[in-house]
Structure 1
């Protein structure tokens, strides 16, 4: 038995306590065994939602499992996200590197992190689907390989706040084999939970658990307040609008992807035209009925330009004068400081809206069905009346819901409070399960 296995078994036998002999004494003294959580997260620097998963889940781990050491794995460089983590989570150690690289041996800080880990957790997203957005088998297996490494070493693993939409042939038995051996799987929408259950996935825990971004509380008040002052946006006197288009990511050097095509098809171009037309109509209704301003805010870097050409430039002059187009991208903590002062939010993207809810701000989400099951999370936390399908819903229906929020704002704020109380309860339950799996019972 090697030293690591001996220490692990000893800690289990003593309820999470290692008995160490102090020099010069005859009796051992108790010392708490260290638990190390390796969290894989931070999917993108160019998307504040992909940034937001990380500080949200880190805050929950810090709150509910404060004695654990947290290692954060960034496979790709994430300099902007790392600014947020370094500033707001100084105890978290960031680990960089790929799990494998051709014929090179698995070594260095990432291997050390996996070998030290008491538990491996993959944070919120929808990366474990096959056939939903493509059929890249090699990439699918690459995402699963760390789980097999954990299984080989006896390290428990789990998935926190994931969506599962499709496991096309031949992937279903592979995903079922791996995920049925997970310590826990929390799905951020109940449709994903049903999907796994109906396909006979049997992890030890399979429950609804909100997207990690719901835990976010980081702010950059200096930048946020400066931007609001410069833009002439007063507290609770503006609507935030977030768009999403069928366009290529500005940093993508490949051929694009299904949801971010290098060259949109005529059908996708028409889809964008229809969607942004509804957004302009909604903005016009808001300004004329409330007299309040609108902030066109980017959740994804590519949408800065699209909001200008597709929305702002095409608004009537009297409406345009009440609309602020943000002309630069930002990080999640600055966005949080701005969203905290919004009256309400409307978005085709979901994670800015999650940030808004975490701040107590009412939201309306107009989801594209092609983005998957994740949109159901707004229904599943108790806000079905604020969830729409953008391609099937007229702008008037979405505008009407925004006006209901405006006309009875205290009621809307109470709806947010109740939804977030439910979210907080589910977060607590999930973190308690993780504590239990780590043999931390207090």
Structure 2
């Protein structure tokens, strides 16, 4: 039997339990439910890595009472340790036993952001074995990286899987329109920002050490990224790919056309502003490409103020570095995404071989910072745009803030749809 003092000491805890239960009921009893996040496609690209922590951050923020189990394709190369540090309570399931238990325990599967419907077979398995609902969160469709004749190809099963999802969110409007034209009839089909917009990983110590070693001061440098038409994955032993001679030949044909405007922007930034430039990779192949296409050809007076990062990094150090920069420009997509997420200006230069994902810059209101490398009038605007970003940071940050506001609104709305499907 409790005496009066013991009872009073326990009242706050009892009240908390009651309020928690009431809150759970009011929210549609989402609490204690578990879902599978199918994500983490590869580790040789900091942007692909970023999909997972981005979506996990959104789930943590908007559905804090939902248990999430991550089912990855690859979390090697230090990525697992990075994720566990930021999300210690998220189980990573890999063994057949862990996956089967998740199929039993979980009520929903969420396919994370990605270049296409990457986990098609796993969604099929989920449907066939459980009959439980699923959703698609921020993909490009069809997302085929190839020559013109390949880009509109897709697996017919994708149409059925997208149609039968509770929601199908596409990370660019071109993909959304393509899905509609090709027969996808999902009840909720809308634009949804790439999950990487929410990434908040950090490695401040590593970023600070690198910047100090190379004489780069916060706010006094821009970042620049090179790229070929097709990432030469065959150069990385971890990918275990034979060289694609057709793609290699096309890369050689187009690499100067594509990287020369980025190189010229670097030259003009160094000569017309006090800023330095840091050459960074978004994927492992771009370390070499950065030296070949951007650093080595620079005039000597410019080279003195340009730093080439000579090794690959992970997403946490990259984000910490971008936050300390005055902005970013180049031929990639996800580093700009991570910049905008942190309030840092970023310019995207793209080509058709990268799929339609670049259209998301237009979709979030940053069309003035989106340039097509196959459109001469666009190419002519790259250097002026980079210089304007460098010389007028206040105006640049105002553009970023407007885009951020729109992205956050869509994140909140889409997570609300997921919450309704769980309740």
Using the alignment, how far apart are the partners of 1:47 and 1:113 within structure 2?
A: 28
SS of the residue 1:239 aligns to: strand
Structure 2 equivalent of residue 149 of structure 1: 125
Structure 2 equivalent of residue 207 of structure 1: 190
Using the alignment, how far apart are the partners of 1:170 and 1:273 within structure 2?
A: 29
Structure 2 equivalent of residue 434 of structure 1: 418
Q: 2:74 aligns with which of 73, 76, 82?
A: 76
Q: In the alignment, is the contact (CA less than 8 A) between 2:265 and 2:387 conserved in 1?
A: no
Query: Mind listing any 5+ residue stretches in structure 1 that lack a counterpart?
Result: 1-13, 18-30, 98-106, 129-139
Q: 1:109 aligns with which of 88, 98, 105?
A: 98
Structure 2 equivalent of residue 408 of structure 1: 392
Q: 2:113 aligns with which of 106, 124, 144?
A: 124
Q: Give the aligned CA root-mean-square deviation in angstroms.
A: 2.3
Structure 1 equivalent of residue 219 of structure 2: 236
Spell out structure 1 runs of 4+ moving beyond 6 A. 14-17, 166-170
Q: 1:424 aligns with which of 379, 387, 408?
A: 408
Structure 1 equivalent of residue 92 of structure 2: 94
Q: Which moved more, 1:171-180 or 1:217-226?
A: 171-180
Question: How far did residue 411 of structure 1 move?
Answer: 1.5
Matched, 1:353 2:336: yes
SS of the residue 1:38 aligns to: strand
Using the alignment, how far apart are the partners of 2:156 and 2:333 within structure 1?
A: 31
Q: 1:288 aligns with which of 271, 294, 298?
A: 271
CA separation of 1:266 and 1:215: change in aligned 2, threshold 3 A: same
Using the alignment, how far apart are the partners of 1:231 and 1:166 within structure 2?
A: 38
Question: How far did residue 280 of structure 1 move?
Answer: 1.5
Query: Mind listing any 5+ residue stretches in structure 2 that lack a counterpart?
Result: 1-21, 145-149
Structure 2 equivalent of residue 255 of structure 1: 242
Q: In the alignment, is the contact (CA less than 8 A) between 2:30 and 2:419 conserved in 1?
A: no
Structure 2 equivalent of residue 162 of structure 1: 139
- TM-score, normalized by length of structure 2? 0.86
CA separation of 1:149 and 1:270: change in aligned 2, threshold 3 A: closer
Question: How far did residue 395 of structure 1 move?
Answer: 5.0
Structure 1 equivalent of residue 61 of structure 2: 63
Using the alignment, how far apart are the partners of 1:294 and 1:278 within structure 2?
A: 15
Using the alignment, how far apart are the partners of 2:70 and 2:402 within structure 1?
A: 31
Q: How does 1:289-304 map to 2 (within 5 A)?
A: 289-304=272-287
Using the alignment, how far apart are the partners of 2:134 and 2:388 within structure 1?
A: 44
- Provide, for residues 135-157 of structure 1, a one-character-per-residue CA deviation record: whole Å limited to 9, x for no partner: xxxxx8xx423223332322111
Q: In the alignment, is the contact (CA less than 8 A) between 2:287 and 2:311 conserved in 1?
A: yes
